Copies of this chain bind each other. A is one copy, B any other.
Amino acid sequence: MKEITRIDQSDRRSRAVVYGGIAYLAGQVADDKTAAIGIQTRQVLAKIDDMLERAGTDKSRLLTAQIWLRTMDDFSGMNAMWDAWVTPGSTPTRCCGKVELADPEFRVEIIVAAAL
């Protein structure tokens, strides 16, 4: 039985789980939920960078990304930050849909998996 590593765990969830050479991250949301879409996206991506580092990998090893937006009006605002953040030549698969989040003030949540 291979070992499972769990990072930043509460009684409800782990923020990252590493198993079989892949780091699975929980959905990340911004710290400042009142901020505009650009700032929220930047905060989400910074949290993903931090979590990937703690898991022993980085964004150049991303496999998949699922992006939830509260409203599609934020699509281009999110994309501007996303496109500047990903590693050229090492982009993950992606899907993006309109999904309202637990707290209606959050505008974006991103769920990724990355290879170690």
Interface size on A, residues (CB 8 A): 53
- A54 on the B face (CB < 8 A): no
A63 to B94, Cβ gap below 8 A?
A: no
In this complex, the member of A65, A79, A82, A95 whose beta carbon has the largest number of chain B beta carbons within 10 angstroms is A95
Residues of B within 8 A of A24 (CB): 63-64, 93
Q: Which of A34-79 contact B (CB under 8 A)?
A: 61, 63-66, 68, 72, 75, 79
A100:B102 contact, CB within 8 angstroms: no
CB distance from A89 to the nearest CB of B (A): 7
Q: Which residues of A contact B (CB under 8 A)?
A: 1-2, 4, 6, 9-17, 19-22, 24-27, 61, 63-66, 68, 72, 75, 79, 82-83, 86, 88-102, 104, 109, 111, 115-116
